């Protein structure tokens, strides 16, 4: 069965799981991180929910999900679920109209901080409502923030970090300034999973941990 069909089925039958053998390395790492950190009853803000692979795992864990997805077509594919709210928007560091960049494969975040070589050739742009990530997490009482937002994580991580228990982020490589932010804001990096191109990092808030 083609990969896109698997994704469509996962989106239509939440919380059905995508077979592990159909996942790329970074997706497996992201799912591992989610399963380590998300607990029953948690409120999770998931930026870049896409077709619902990680969303399904969060729901399976018994959590409530605010799925933030800039692709309107994907938003319409999500079924109703008592613990799922789908919002057509993008995560960023301010509540404003942002600009998504389109390359040959996917929509990228609104930031210019990420190395452009990681994101391919620019083929177009689109306006999108961007949410202030920290403020939105505060408003919904989030426990965990998950981000797979193709570059916009750089703006979020350089801005004010939300007061959540854990941040799980997919990014294209690390940046030295992250560690200064972690130390300054009282966070600790606990898990790091990488493949040839992508990195999944889990940051834990020292306010909610013993280490």
Q: Which CATH architecture has domain 3-208?
A: 3-Layer(aba) Sandwich (3.40)
Instruction: Determine how many CB atoms are found less than 10 A away from the CB of residue 208.
Output: 11
pLDDT in tens, 139-172: 999 999 999 887 778 778 878 889 999 999 987 6
- The pLDDT of residue 5 is 39
Output 7 or 148, whichever has higher pLDDT. Answer: 148
pLDDT at 107 over 60: no
Query: What residue spans of the chain are helical by DSSP H?
Result: 3-12, 25-37, 53-60, 72-77, 133-140, 153-158, 177-185
pTM for the model stands at 0.81
Domain limits, the chain: 3-208
- The pLDDT of residue 211 is 52
- Cα first-last separation, the chain: 44
Kindly give, in sequence order, each residue whose CB lies less than 8 Å from that of residue 183, ignoring residues fewer than 6 positions away: none
């Amino acid at each position: 069965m083609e990969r896109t069909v698997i994704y469509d089925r996962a989106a239509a039958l939440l919380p059905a799981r995508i077979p592990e053998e159909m996942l790329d390395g970074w997706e497996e790492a992201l799912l591992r991180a989610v399963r380590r950190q998300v607990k029953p009853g948690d409120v999770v803000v998931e930026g870049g929910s896409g077709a619902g692979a990680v969303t399904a795992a969060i729901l399976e864990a018994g959590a409530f999900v605010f799925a933030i997805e800039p692709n309107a077509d994907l938003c319409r594919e999500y079924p109703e679920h008592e613990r799922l709210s789908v919002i057509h928007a993008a995560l960023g560091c301010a509540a404003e109209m942002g600009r998504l960049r389109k390359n040959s494969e996917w929509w990228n975040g609104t930031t210019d901080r990420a190395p452009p070589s990681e994101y391919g050739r620019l083929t177009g742009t689109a306006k999108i409502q961007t949410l202030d990530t920290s403020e939105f997490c505060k408003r919904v009482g989030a426990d965990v923030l998950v981000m797979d937002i193709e570059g916009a994580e750089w703006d979020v991580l350089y801005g004010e970090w939300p007061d959540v228990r854990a941040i799980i982020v997919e990014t294209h490589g690390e940046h030295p300034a992250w560690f200064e932010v972690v130390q300054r804001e009282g966070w600790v990096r606990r898990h790091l999973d990488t493949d040839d191109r992508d990195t999944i990092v889990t940051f834990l808030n020292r306010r909610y941990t013993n280490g």
